Structure 1
Amino acid sequence: MDELTAGLFNPFASEEVAPPNSSHWEAKRRLAEAVRQLNDLLVSTVASDAELAQASAQVEALNRTLADTPRLHGTLAYLKSGEHGHYGEINHELNAVGGQSNPLAPGLNMWLDGNRAYGTVRCGLAYEGPPGFVHGGFVAAIFDQFLGMAQVAGGQPGMTGTLTVRYLRPTPLNTELKLSAQLSRAEDRKTLVSGELRAGGEITATAEGLFVRPSRGMAAMAEMAVGNSGQ
């Protein structure tokens, strides 16, 4: 592994969700959870127009307050600051699908056991596609993140080349979903991982992901991102 994925911190070492490494991340996790709850409440509430207008004004005021605070734009900016932990810790907080401090993320928890990976996630109403079920796009995003973590066990982490998802039956909302994956093959710069998603013991979807390690390593991708951002 290169320095972006080295084992200075491994949030996927056990089934327990890794604790925040600072009071800052602890506070941010609390706010992220509150926003997740707000998302769920917003799509389900039938509050009056006046009540919604009042809530909007409160959220808009909070947005203005946070907009006036110091900000870091993206994972690499957090890493460059040197004040918020190693890459693994920062990604564990900010990732769009698995980040504990990202309110967009559905709360995906993942861990490795040898060359196998396991995970759990529960998707609320904000992730609804077909009535009562998780949107297929979110199922694919969860697989992309989960299989991407699983392929790290192969020792040559890369970026998603292809992701093939097979939907066997609808995946229910508000249900603990269990994921498992295993390394199928690793050769040269390519790693093949297969996995499945279960609800109540039944497989609702399977996926296969092909991950390709950049020829210069993942660190080179970070350098490219920094260059493109003008930092």
Structure 2
Amino acid sequence: MTELKNPFASEEITAPFNEEWQAKRRVAAAVRLLTEVLVTSSPDTSKMHDIAEQLENTASDFASSPRVYGRLDWIESGQHGSFGQVSHELNPLAGYSNPLAPPVTTRIEGDMAIGRCFCGWAYEGPPGSVHGGYVAAIFDQFMGFAQKLGKRPGMTGYLNVSYHHRTPLTTDLHLEARITKQEGRKTFMEGKMFAHDELTASCEALFIEPRKGMYALKQQARPEEVFSPPTARSGA
């Protein structure tokens, strides 16, 4: 498959780099569905134990396949896409192949970044509302993408979130962000989150470009020793 230059160029979800990511997206979607069902259902206890055993066996079988820890390892083989494409799949807030992600979708329109997000019951904080910590995390992900507008991507310096109204669950959330100022390696931004037409949260953010740029930071990111989590075990 050809290189995808910009997986965020339109509102449409970008196709996966290869068939492996396509299959992984399907698994991730199934895990998201399972999570949503888990937190919104009350089946018979024995049935839940049966389901747990099936899942434990599935996880154990999964764990016997070749393991890849971290995005840098994923891109090294050259078979899984660029750093951006792998991030598009595995990012914990926006990755289509990561069941932890809602996910947050993003694109650029002129001088504005636009995002969408949908949080189900697994993200509940106050009754019927998205947990404030997830609201902040969604902003951090979205604003980190939006800084592409300034052409000098960097790391989060600060993220100040204001909560105006509760952010409802099971509702399409709309995100907007703009650059307000740039000073050397510093990019200052503001962002907003809407449910329908109501402003639920806003933020001010600062991103700071590393002295040698983000690419150099990626090159230095690999630790000398990679921690490998234990494999899943069945039974208890």
**TM-score by structure 2 length?**
0.92
Cα deviation for residue 224 of structure 1 reads: 2.4
C-alpha distance in 2 between matches for 1:183 and 1:78: 32
Cα deviation for residue 88 of structure 1 reads: 1.1
Which residue does the alignment assign to 2:185? 189
* 2:141 is the alignment partner of 1:178: no
Decide whether the 8 Å contact of 1:197 with 1:203 is kept in 2. yes
C-alpha distance in 2 between matches for 1:118 and 1:176: 13
- Residues 133 and 71 of structure 1: is their aligned pair in 2 closer, same or farther, counting only changes over 3 Å? same
1:32-84 Cα offsets, whole Å, 9 max, x none, are 00000111111111011101000000110110011000011011110112110
- Residues 48 and 197 of structure 1: is their aligned pair in 2 closer, same or farther, counting only changes over 3 Å? same
Structure 1 residue corresponding to 2:135, chosen from 136, 139, 142:
139
Cα deviation for residue 115 of structure 1 reads: 2.1
Decide whether the 8 Å contact of 1:150 with 1:182 is kept in 2. yes
* 2:215 is the alignment partner of 1:219: yes
* 2:157 is the alignment partner of 1:161: yes
* 2:90 is the alignment partner of 1:84: no
Which residue does the alignment assign to 1:99? 95
Decide whether the 8 Å contact of 1:9 with 1:86 is kept in 2. no
Paired residues, what number?
A: 225
C-alpha distance in 2 between matches for 1:230 and 1:64: 21
Decide whether the 8 Å contact of 1:25 with 1:93 is kept in 2. yes
Decide whether the 8 Å contact of 1:147 with 1:209 is kept in 2. yes
Decide whether the 8 Å contact of 1:178 with 1:198 is kept in 2. yes
Cα deviation for residue 9 of structure 1 reads: 2.0
User: Structure 1 unaligned runs (5+)?
Assistant: 1-6
Amino acid aligned to 1:77: D
Cα deviation for residue 186 of structure 1 reads: 1.7
Aligned-pair identity (%): 46
- Residues 227 and 107 of structure 1: is their aligned pair in 2 closer, same or farther, counting only changes over 3 Å? closer
Amino acid aligned to 1:108: V
C-alpha distance in 2 between matches for 1:72 and 1:24: 13
Which residue does the alignment assign to 1:4? none
Amino acid aligned to 2:112: R
* 2:55 is the alignment partner of 1:59: yes
- Residues 119 and 162 of structure 1: is their aligned pair in 2 closer, same or farther, counting only changes over 3 Å? same
1:88-146 Cα offsets, whole Å, 9 max, x none, are 11110000101111000002111011221001110000000001000000000000000
**TM-score by structure 1 length?**
0.94
Structure 2 residue corresponding to 1:125, chosen from 105, 111, 121:
121
Which residue does the alignment assign to 1:199? 195
Amino acid aligned to 2:149: A
- Structure 1 stretches (4+) deviating beyond 3 angstroms? 227-231
Amino acid aligned to 1:214: P
Helix, strand or coil for the counterpart of 1:226?
A: coil
C-alpha distance in 2 between matches for 1:78 and 1:191: 30
Helix, strand or coil for the counterpart of 2:222?
A: helix
Cα deviation for residue 156 of structure 1 reads: 0.6
Cα deviation for residue 230 of structure 1 reads: 5.2
Structure 1 residue corresponding to 2:38, chosen from 39, 42, 55:
42
Helix, strand or coil for the counterpart of 2:182?
A: strand
C-alpha distance in 2 between matches for 1:74 and 1:44: 32
